[in-house]
Amino acid sequence: MVPVLWAGFSLYNGGGMNGTSQMMDFLEEPLPGVGTYEDFNTIDWVREKSRDRDRHREIASKSKESTWALIQSVSDAFSGWLLMLLIGLLAGSLAGLIDISAHWMTDLKEGLCLSGFWFNHEHCCWNSNETTFEDRDKCPEWESWSQLIIGHGEGAFAYILNYFMYVLWALVFSLLAVLLVRGFAPYACGSGIPEIKTILSGFIIRGYLGKWTLIIKTVTLVLAVSSGLSLGKEGPLVHVACCCGNILCHLFTKYRKNEAKRREVLSAAAAAGVSVAFGAPIGGVLFSLEEVSYYFPLKTLWRSFFAALVAAFTLRSINPFGNSRLVLFYVEFHTPWHLLELVPFILLGIFGGLWGSFFIRSNIAWCRRRKTTKLGKYPVLEVLVVTAVTAVLAFPNEYTRMSTSELISELFNDCGLLDFSKLCEYVNDFNSTTGDVLPDRAAGPGVYTAMWQLALALILKVFITIFTFGMKVPSGLFIPSMAVGAIVGRLLGVGMEQLAYYHHDWTIFSGWCSQGADCITPGLYAMVGAAACLGGVTRMTVSLVVIMFELTGGLEYIVPLMAAAMTSKWVADAIGREGIYDAHIRLNGYPFLEAKEEFSHKTLAMDVMRPRRNDPVLTVITQDSMTVEDVEAIINETTYSGYPVVVSRESQRLVGFVLRRDLIISIENARKKQDGIVSTSIIYFTDHSPPLPPTSPSMLKLRSILDLSPFTVTDQTPMEIVVDIFRKLGLRQCLVTHNG
């Protein structure tokens, strides 16, 4: 008779992952409470879901009895929606707060508003009467540091003073940020998306979504963004929104007590986070679906959508950009694109893919070096050095001095007649202007200068971002990636435009790009480039295109975006399969079962289970013959997280499965509270215990903690089916049987 074999592999820990063993050791420490989880442990989705169903059924059956119970049942049903509303409101408000503060503090590096120090540069000059339309940025109320300190803003000394103040403020902000993170909430660093993915897949990291993390992350995010480091606030905003979701869960018993339900809320909160980050509610929901979530039922889809909408509208009511626009980068293009332009768009896609995988490789290599060498011991110094380098190199170049989101806005912009930025300094020929449509024009000197500056900015951004992402400050990756892509796109776009202007008689241009026609929009190229680079780094496709679509609001431009995002994903996937978040998950050794990755080994369950064929026989507990002492010995000798219960040592027929943690707690409890439980008491897992001889010690019945329906597969099951079961049902363990 072949024994029941047990596959003691928690698959979260098994399927090709490594580096998690030290975390799984936390399992040993017992904590009170049967059916709860320990830190750094995975939850049992099946148990959580069936617990929720039990709860739901109980409420439903009670609701027929009295009116009060009926009201409770209705309020229970609507508590999910209420929770979404609260999350949306809170996430939207926090995002507004972060936007406003970061804007103000970014400008603080350059100067101060005399009419009220709480105004940022733009606001300050809006309120001024002396602002002309052309020089919206200049007004007497706004004084640069040199004006404030030495009284004038001209000359080399003033420039150096401004330079010095800029670097100083950057250092102060980043120092504050890193000290706050280290001192109060170590989890507040980074983008948070890798960890949220892991948590949503069922892992527990206590405190990662707690109130301290929320407060510190909000504050330090503002500081980090204002310090001018090459990072964005979009990823961390997802973390902030998830913290809101987790904290608000405590208001409702339904969500506080059930880890699976809480993860549904967190998925929705992630959607709200992206929604406020870009002003793209639909894109946010798809981002949560495509990139972050693990378990995403349809109900969650609706709720995510609701939360994302509420958050977006809260943000719009706060109106942090002062333009009543929901979206971060509002663009309006006037010219349709031509089919031939797909060639440069696909080139941008290839660039995005190449840059994406280059970035991932270098960043992971650098982070690994930080983990393994002495570098990791001086996080504060590291942040200060990177900030100093960034600030020193950024100040002289106009395009790196401005905040990265402003830069992207400017790159996306379609030059109109009323634009006076350097990028729009074309040689104007007012005679040929008809209405709103501007023909392609020759580039003026401003455009050429801008091109050089942008090229320099590109080099800076490409390299500094590698060192920035992963430091001990909150840092998002969306904005720097988009900036890199937008710069390349704009450069290519302007190049194409000039090519078409000077060579409109070439065959490829004739027909659609005749002289005086407005045929190429460099802003669109910037946008496509941004999408390509973001796609290369994160490997998003649909959600990315939808986010970009929500920025422009025109279906017209979906095809270029789609082409670039797809090419970028294909190119990047050909070089390395992992996106940046998955790479960081693996780097940090979180247990995460990648749902997208195909399990390609042709193995059977038999081959991966433990103990192997030649190992000592499996530790099992019999249902009616072992004493407390025996069981305790097994618990002490082994480290498995649970034991199969069998009919008897000889027949080895499987009855059920008992968790180590539950067993320890129950025995301890019984010893304390139940009379007559001694080491020789026999533990019964059966329904009916046999009559005992009066001399023997009283028995311990533990049927209640026995899982009577453990998941079993036969030893001949292909491993990929086992992995599929683990993924889809969210199991913690699975027993392997042979001939029953």
Q: Is 50 in the site for a second copy (CB under 8 A)?
A: yes
Q: Which of 171, 558, 587, 705 binds a second copy (CB under 8 A)?
A: 558
Smallest gap, in angstroms, from Cβ of residue 382 to a second copy?
A: 36
Distance of CA 721 to the CA centre of its chain: 29
Q: Is 610 in the site for a second copy (CB under 8 A)?
A: no
Residue 195 · residue 590 · CB < 8 Å: yes
Q: Is 587 in the site for a second copy (CB under 8 A)?
A: no
Q: Which of 116, 553, 676, 690 binds a second copy (CB under 8 A)?
A: 553
Q: Is 124 in the site for a second copy (CB under 8 A)?
A: no
The pair of three-digit structure tokens given for residue 141, joined into one six-digit string: 């109320």
Helix ranges (DSSP H) in 469-521: 478-502
CA dist., res. 416 & res. 436, Å (int): 8
Helix (H) or strand (E) holding 683: strand 683-684
Type of residue found at 493: G
Type of residue found at 540: M
Q: Is 629 in the site for a second copy (CB under 8 A)?
A: no
Q: Which of 159, 313, 333, 358 binds a second copy (CB under 8 A)?
A: 313
Q: Is 709 in the site for a second copy (CB under 8 A)?
A: yes
Q: Is 87 in the site for a second copy (CB under 8 A)?
A: no
For tokens 């249902």, the residue is 623
Residue 619's SS3 state is: coil
Q: Which of 60, 442, 459, 633 binds a second copy (CB under 8 A)?
A: 60
Q: Is 716 in the site for a second copy (CB under 8 A)?
A: yes
Count of all residues that appear for the chain in the document: 740
CA dist., res. 145 & res. 163, Å (int): 9
Task: Give burial (CB, 10 Å; 0-12/13-18/19+) of 497.
Answer: buried
Q: Between 223 and 562, whose beta carbon lies closer to a second copy?
A: 562
The pair of three-digit structure tokens given for residue 532, joined into one six-digit string: 């390509």
CA dist., res. 625 & res. 630, Å (int): 10
521 backbone dihedrals φ, ψ, rounded to 5°: -110, 105
Q: Which stretch binds a second copy (CB under 8 A): 178-186, 387-395, 488-496, 724-732?
A: 724-732
Smallest gap, in angstroms, from Cβ of residue 333 to a second copy?
A: 14
Q: Is 625 in the site for a second copy (CB under 8 A)?
A: no
Q: Is 302 in the site for a second copy (CB under 8 A)?
A: yes
Q: Is 545 in the site for a second copy (CB under 8 A)?
A: yes
Q: Which of 67, 129, 132, 600 binds a second copy (CB under 8 A)?
A: 600
DSSP state of 698: P
Smallest gap, in angstroms, from Cβ of residue 143 to a second copy?
A: 38
Q: Which of 105, 175, 205, 725 binds a second copy (CB under 8 A)?
A: 725
Q: Which of 151, 323, 377, 555 binds a second copy (CB under 8 A)?
A: 555
Residue 272 · residue 90 · CB < 8 Å: no
How many positions of this chain bind a second copy (CB under 8 A)? Answer: 70
Smallest gap, in angstroms, from Cβ of residue 321 to a second copy?
A: 14
Q: For the CA atoms of 710, 711, 715, 716, what is the dihedral angle to 10 degrees? A: 160
Q: Which of 541, 622, 666, 733 binds a second copy (CB under 8 A)?
A: 541
Q: Between 57 and 612, whose beta carbon lies closer to a second copy?
A: 57
CA dist., res. 284 & res. 512, Å (int): 37
Smallest gap, in angstroms, from Cβ of residue 558 to a second copy?
A: 6
By rule CB under 8 A, what string of x and - marks binding of each residue 649-688 to a second copy? ---xxxxx--------------------------------
For tokens 């480039």, the residue is 529
Q: Which of 53, 152, 368, 612 binds a second copy (CB under 8 A)?
A: 53
The pair of three-digit structure tokens given for residue 429, joined into one six-digit string: 């020929």
Q: Between 222 and 606, whose beta carbon lies closer to a second copy?
A: 606
Q: Which of 309, 367, 447, 583 binds a second copy (CB under 8 A)?
A: 309
Q: Which stretch binds a second copy (CB under 8 A): 230-238, 380-388, 597-605, 676-684?
A: 597-605
Strand pairing category for 142-144 and 111-113: antiparallel
CA dist., res. 200 & res. 300, Å (int): 13
CA dist., res. 241 & res. 90, Å (int): 8
> Given phi > 0 = left and psi -120 to 50 = alpha, else beta, which region is 120?
beta
DSSP state of 707: B
CA dist., res. 500 & res. 484, Å (int): 24
Q: Is 713 in the site for a second copy (CB under 8 A)?
A: yes
For tokens 């949503």, the residue is 200
Q: Is 602 in the site for a second copy (CB under 8 A)?
A: yes
Residue 622's SS3 state is: strand
Interface with a second copy (CB under 8 A):
4, 46, 49-50, 53-54, 56-57, 60, 279, 281-282, 285, 289-290, 298-299, 301-302, 305-306, 309, 312-313, 326-327, 541-542, 545-546, 549-550, 553-555, 558-559, 562, 566, 595-596, 598, 600, 602, 605, 647, 652-656, 708-714, 716-718, 720-721, 724-725, 728-729, 737, 739-740
